[in-house]
Amino acid sequence: MTFRSLEGFIAAISPFNFTAIGGNLATAPAMMGNAVLWKPSCTAVLSNYFIYEALEEAGLPAGVISFLPSDGPVFGNVITSSPHLSAINFTGSMPTFKHLWREVAENLDTYISFPRLIGECGGKNFHFVHPSADLDTVAPCTIRSAYEYQGQKCSACSRIYVPESLWPALQLKLDAIQKQLKVGDVRDGSIFMTAVIDAKAFKSIRSYIDYAKTGADGAKIIFGGTYDDTKGYFIQPTLVQVDRWDSKLLREEIFGPVLTAYVYKDNEALEIVSKLKDSTVFGLTGAVFSEDREFLYKSRDILRHAVGNMYLNDKSTGSVVGQQPFGGARMSGTNDKAGGPHYVLRWVSPLCIKETSVPQTEWRYPSMD
């Protein structure tokens, strides 16, 4: 059996938040022999172009990867209407990926082959804290996961479930750490956070903070809740507590430095985990903190379809290529696990070849005699 490149071109559509993702989306298919059209995010064109320049300097043949900054809808319409589209390698929002999928479906009769759609979308990632959890681990892990890179990561912790007995102490620990977080110019190496990416993101994140300020769903802001777009788009790390299980602050992706807490009764831990597995449309990352090994493994089994990357006593971010391939299912994507050993097989088509050295000369079956 041999492996061939796909017949046609592959469209790589990369996000703003990780420059390395752009490089991976374009180069993984190219390394398997494919021609790639790379569309970077309109808010990360320059950083992605630096990667493209580095590839050219390293000897990338002309035309293997075409760097094509362009309007998103225009690019999408062009690629999905081409009969030569063989695959889309996408990282971005769930609505955009759904739109591309619909466009492909509507053009199925156009294509030479069924296009492969590989997508990494958003998440509503959680930290679940068991009554036995070590708060000296929970607090720094939660701060890192929820607020680093301004929460603009698909794997960022956006909600946390805490038992009543630990909530007062955890609040104090989280507040003590967040007071030390320096927010400022990205060129300052001593900062922990900087501005969110653009005005659109700022307005969206601000709307969730303003929603919390109304007290809807029993919401109250524990810390943060301030924002400023005078120069740049800055949002303070924010912690909100809600009383309603179905609050939109616990269900919808915010993609910013806003963490929502839900406090449960200590004796309901297993019940909450069972409800947690179907609490959102997403299935990307989640973490369980517990010193009770039996509970840890039981919750792992209950949540096996609720996440694509599960963390036990660790933050919900930080997958390492080659060690923990990354990806989610449900509406978080196709879970093809970028960085894993099977990812490259998505960009090739197997060909089985048989050559016989003993020619067949008889047409009759043995049973016929």
Active site residues: 120
- 34, HSE (Cβ side, Cα atoms, 13 Å): 32
What is the Cα–Cα distance from 278 to 297, expressed in whole angstroms? 18
263 bridge partner residues: 162
One-letter amino acid at 103 equals E
Query: In sequence order, what are the residues at sequence separation of 6 or more whose Cβ sits closer than 8 angstroms to the Cβ of residue 172?
Result: none
Report the residue count for the chain.
369
Q: What is the DSSP letter of 278?
A: T
Backbone φ and ψ for 10, nearest 5 degrees, come out as -115, 135
Distance between CA 248 and CA 266 in Å, rounded?
24
Of 80, 20, 67, 79, the C-alpha closest to 40 is 67
Q: Which residues contact 318 (CB under 8 A, 6 or more apart)?
A: 155
Assigned token pair, 8: 């046609």
Using DSSP bridges, classify how beta strands 282-283 and 329-330 pair: parallel, antiparallel or unpaired.
antiparallel
The alpha-helical segments, DSSP class H, found in 214-348 are 248-251, 269-276, 293-302
Interatomic CA distance for residues 287 and 300, integer angstroms: 9
Kindly report the CA angle at 222 between 217 and 225, in degrees rounded to 5? 85
Half-sphere exposure of 57 (CA within 13 A, CB side): 6
Q: How far apart are CA 85 and CA 305, in angstroms?
A: 31
Picking from 311, 309, 312, the residue whose alpha carbon sits closest to that of residue 333 is: 309
Residue 51's H or E segment, with its range, is helix 45-57
User: Is there a contact between 118 and 86 (Cβ–Cβ < 8 Å)?
Assistant: no
